[in-house]
Structure formats: structure tokens, C-alpha cells
Amino acid sequence: MVDNMIYTLLQPDHPLLLTALPEITAETEPESRPELLANMVETMKHYGGIGLSANQCGIPLRMFVFGDNENYVPCFNPRIIETVGELIPIEEGCLTYPGLFIKIFRPERVTATFEDENRELHKDTFTGLMARVFLHEMDHMDGIDFQTRAGHLALDIAKRKRTKAIKKMKKMQEKT
């Protein structure tokens, strides 16, 4: 059995994170979707995430994975069909910005199509947290930084909270 690779995450200012990714075609098809998926899941678990897009790992493919420790949804060439429901504000994080949590408004439900690692097409509806994560990862596919979804005040408060938390952690580390 081959060990899965853990990808290094790109820095927030990398141009690939701000680039809308085209659909995967025969020319851009990854060598092995199952291998890419396994590496993406391992990377997501390694960094403690519940969603990870290929471009965050420096891979210019329209693909992401999301889920928990046991159930993962691979999304190759995802497309949103519709979003439904009230816009709900909930704090979101992003593996690109460790420790930064920003209140983002997103719809309660999303219906989408996507291919799995075997190129089978799926249509599914996600609600609650799974809808939020799907939409967050779709933003990555479209080159949208989640910070741009927040108001200036909310972003400023979130950044100050993160700075405080980092200072507190450094003080704790100095004591040990």
C-alpha cells in the first residue's frame, strides 16, 4: 500500500487562489482521480479542515473535497444548480488563513452537480454546514477569497481576534 501524499498549502497571496478554474477536460484530466482524491483527503485531515480545494494545494484543477472524518464528498467539475433559503451568518474559517474566523452570510441549501473520482455524475442537495462548506469551496473554484464576502468591520474584528489568539499562544509557549 502506498502512503498518501500531504500537499503543502499555498500562501494566501498566490495567484492561483485568485484564479477562476476552468472545467476539467480530456487535456487537463488528472493522471489518477482516485489518487488525487486520497491525497486531498489526507491533506484536509492533516490540516484539520472540513473542505479543501485543489487550487489551495497548488493544483490548477476544478476539484475539491469536503466532509468529516468518515464521509467525504469528492467534487470534480462542480456546478451550482440553485441556492435556496435565507442567508444565514455563521463564522467560517479557511485553511488558507489559519485561525481567522469571519462571519459570512450564505444560503441554507444548495443543489449541485459534480463528478466523483470514477467520473460518475451526481446531483445532490446539501443543507446547513455541508451547504456552507460546498459554497465556500466553490468560491475557491471561482477565485473568490472568503474575506471578500465579509464586511469591513467583521473582517477587522476577526483579524484582531486572530492577532490576540496568536499573542496568547506565543505567551503560553514561552512559559513552557
Tell me whether strands 51-53 and 63-67 are parallel, antiparallel or unpaired.
antiparallel
In the set 92, 115, 117, 137, the catalytic residue is 137
Known active-site residue 137: yes
- Strand partners for 15: none
> Locate cell 493544483: which residue?
59
Cell of 24: 476539467
Q: Which runs of E-coded beta strand occur in the chain?
A: 51-53, 63-67, 72-94, 97-115, 121-127
Nearby residues of 18 by Cβ (< 8 Å), 6 or more positions away: 143, 145
Say if residues 50 and 133 touch (Cβ distance below 8 Å). Answer: yes
Say if residues 85 and 79 touch (Cβ distance below 8 Å). Answer: no
Active site residues: 137
